[in-house]
Amino acid sequence: MISFNEPIYVEKGLDYITDAIVKNRRLNGDGPFTAMCTKWFTEKLNSKVLLTTSCTHALEMGAILSEISPGDEVIMPSFTFVSTADAFVLRGAKVKFVDIRKDTMNIDEALIEQAITEKTRAIVPVHYAGVSCEMDEIMALAKKYNLYVIEDAAQGMMSTYKGKALGTIGDFGAYSFHETKNYTMGEGGLCIINNEKYVERAEIIREKGTDRAKFFRGEIDKYSWVDVGSSYLPSEMNAAYLMPQLEIAEEINNKRLKLWDIYYKELKSLEEEGQIELPFIPNYCEHNAHMFYIKAKDLEERSALIEYLMNNGIKAVFHYVPLHSAKAGEKYGEFVGEDKNTTKESERLLRLPMFYGLKEEQAEYISSKVREFYKR
């Protein structure tokens, strides 16, 4: 059976965890491995970053820093993971869902303005599959209406928009290091803060509402409770698992891109025959091969294809149930305008196995089985 996902494991992963336990004797947050990861991201992204317990928590930090309050409205796509909405609903916001573009499955930037009201506080673009949203237009709208932009770049590490790393364009950005993502620490994330004026408060929120970070830097002689907050710092063991992946980040990215290119090349003929659709990468985007998806004709054909692949030892999956049609989505959100693409396109989408340990021959084999399905 070819799994849909296997968490990435690189050499040194275990050595670094052992170092955290045996050599450093430091298991709680913000020890040497967290510092190494933080340094790596700071240099890579040229922004202030804080390692977190998840992307969900990084988004929650973004929501607190944006001072989202009960009654505020936040605009996002409905085709996304629950956390995108949850982080803002927790602060009492109402979610306004906007339709996606058919080509990238990202929020349709042309439909955002009609969803803005005097209660709107923020736009949350989700860079689906590590392919960027049209950020220039989103940032222009945010400026015009004085809104925050919190980028859900959970899938976007190593991707860029017009040369800028995803997550560094809006006010705040969030990465995920969940085991299904390109780089992982089991559960974990990164909060990216792109405006210096929010950095101090971000540190406080992450440390249970205390000014402990300042204390450790020797800037104050004792720390205390100064603001709201939670516990958003990950254990050193998790950071130790992530660090060796960062050391070979380019190599990991290239390997994934190679697998992605194999799928694309092997399935191109099916697209030309009009049987399926392949992912679209706009030229303003450099992507990270977070996933490889295809679009079948409809829900029925997709189900048949999943079953066919399963019978051939291949696990393919789909996602997401659009949030506006989920129970909590109906309660906390509302779809603005017409749902032209969200439901229809989400029902056609199928994800093929994609992970660092997948072999090139396996990607070729999987592609051949997809072709075989359509030849029957």
Please state the closest distance from residue 315 (CB atom) to ligand PLP, in A. Answer: 18
Query: 55 or 294: whose CB is closer to ligand PLP?
Result: 55
- 7: Cα separation from own chain's centroid: 16
Residues 30-59 that bind ligand PLP (CB under 6 A): 54-56
Contact between 342 and ligand PLP per CB under 6 A:
no
Residues 229-268 that bind ligand PLP (CB under 6 A): none
What x-and-dash track marks residues 113-152 binding ligand PLP by CB under 6 A?
A: -------------x-------------------------x
Please state the closest distance from residue 54 (CB atom) to ligand PLP, in A. Answer: 3
Please spell the DSSP secondary structure of 193-228, one letter per residue.
E-SGGGHHHHHHHHBTTB-HHHHHTTSSSS--B-S-
Please state the closest distance from residue 214 (CB atom) to ligand PLP, in A. Answer: 27
Please state the closest distance from residue 157 (CB atom) to ligand PLP, in A. Answer: 11
Q: Which residue from 47, 78, 106, 155 is in contact with ligand PLP, where contact means CB under 6 A?
A: 155
* CB 226 within 8 Å of CB 200: no
* Best CA proximity match to 257, nearest among 158, 351, 187: 158
Residues pairing with 161 in the sheet? 164, 285
Burial class (CB in 10 A: 0-12, 13-18, 19+), 90: middle
Contact between 191 and ligand PLP per CB under 6 A:
no
Contact between 83 and ligand PLP per CB under 6 A:
yes
What percent of the chain is helix, strand and coil (3-state, nearest 5)? 45, 15, 40
Query: 81 or 293: whose CB is closer to ligand PLP?
Result: 81
Please state the closest distance from residue 265 (CB atom) to ligand PLP, in A. Answer: 26
Contact between 84 and ligand PLP per CB under 6 A:
yes
- CA atoms of 93 and 69, how far apart (whole Å): 6
* Core vs surface per residue 16-35: b (16+ CB within 10 A) or e: bbebbeeeeebeebbbbbbe
What's the token pair of residue 234? 């990950």
Question: Given the rule CB under 6 A, which of 40-48, 80-88, 160-168, 277-285 is the region that contacts ligand PLP?
Answer: 80-88
Query: 23 or 319: whose CB is closer to ligand PLP?
Result: 319
What's the token pair of residue 160? 């860029």
- CA atoms of 260 and 282, how far apart (whole Å): 16
Spatial CB neighbours of 137, under 8 Å, sequence gap ≥ 6: 109, 110
Please state the closest distance from residue 332 (CB atom) to ligand PLP, in A. Answer: 16
Strands, sheet with 94-98, edge to edge from the N-terminal-most edge strand: 48-52, 189-193, 172-176, 148-152, 120-123, 73-77, 94-98, 333-335
Q: Which residue from 141, 142, 149, 154 is in contact with ligand PLP, where contact means CB under 6 A?
A: 154
* Best CA proximity match to 63, nearest among 139, 182, 148: 148
Q: Which residue from 80, 106, 238, 288 is in contact with ligand PLP, where contact means CB under 6 A?
A: 80
Q: Which residue from 106, 176, 182, 245 is in contact with ligand PLP, where contact means CB under 6 A?
A: 176
Please state the closest distance from residue 122 (CB atom) to ligand PLP, in A. Answer: 15
Please state the closest distance from residue 155 (CB atom) to ligand PLP, in A. Answer: 5
- Which residues lie near ligand PLP (CB under 6 A)? 54-56, 80-81, 83-84, 126, 152, 154-155, 176, 178, 189
